Amino acid sequence: MSTGSAGRLAGRIALVTGASRGLGAATALAYATEGAHCILVARTVGGLEALDDKIKSVGGSATLVPLDVTDGPGIDRLGAALYERFGRLDVLLGNAAILGTLSPLGHIEPQTFEQVIAANLTANWRLIRSLDPLLRRSDAGRAIFVTSGIARQAVPYWGAYAASKAALDMLVGIYAAEVA
């Protein structure tokens, strides 16, 4: 059942990365059910289209953005396009992430380690860099980043993922302190 324009997020614009499945899709659907227009970012076009169908079925609306979050210039173009179309952003949910491989640190391929850092850390810095001006134009801008408890534990074989999420925790903490 849709709350449509009467929802708690009526008139708000929410961007969700990793929106094609899992937590990102569930959160985007919840935002749309509460009246937000959702900007859905993911690599998987089919997943975005399936989510768009669900959002329409609850009376919501979405803009689909097939984009790999590790495409830094693409993130910059997204920020510019959102400025042109909406002039602001009310919610940023940085959810996209990759696990990489669970392996002893010395066995992780450099390309895999770099991909995990690019998706889980660098992409979120690019999102902040590109979208912070839009969040500041909102009367109640919010940035939310999905991290993991593994970031605060030294668990064997989780090196790349845990390190990327620990770095994300610090990055987001610094961002929060800067905008407080």
b/e per residue, 94-121, with b = 16+ CB within 10 A? bbbbbebbebeeeebeeebbebbbbbbb
Residue 161 annotated in active site: yes
> Helices 45-57 & 22-33, crossing angle to 10 degrees?
30
What is the tally of helices (H) and strands (E) in the chain?
A: 6, 5
CA-to-CA dists, residue 97 to 59, 113, 140, 144, 145, angstroms: 29, 13, 26, 14, 10
Catalytic residue among 83, 157, 161, 175: 161
Residue 127 tokens, joined: 């999102």
Q: Would you call 180 exposed, middle or buried from its count of C-beta atoms within 10 A (0-12, 13-18, 19+)?
A: exposed
Which uninterrupted H or E stretch holds 130? helix 123-136
**Residues carrying an active site annotation:** 161
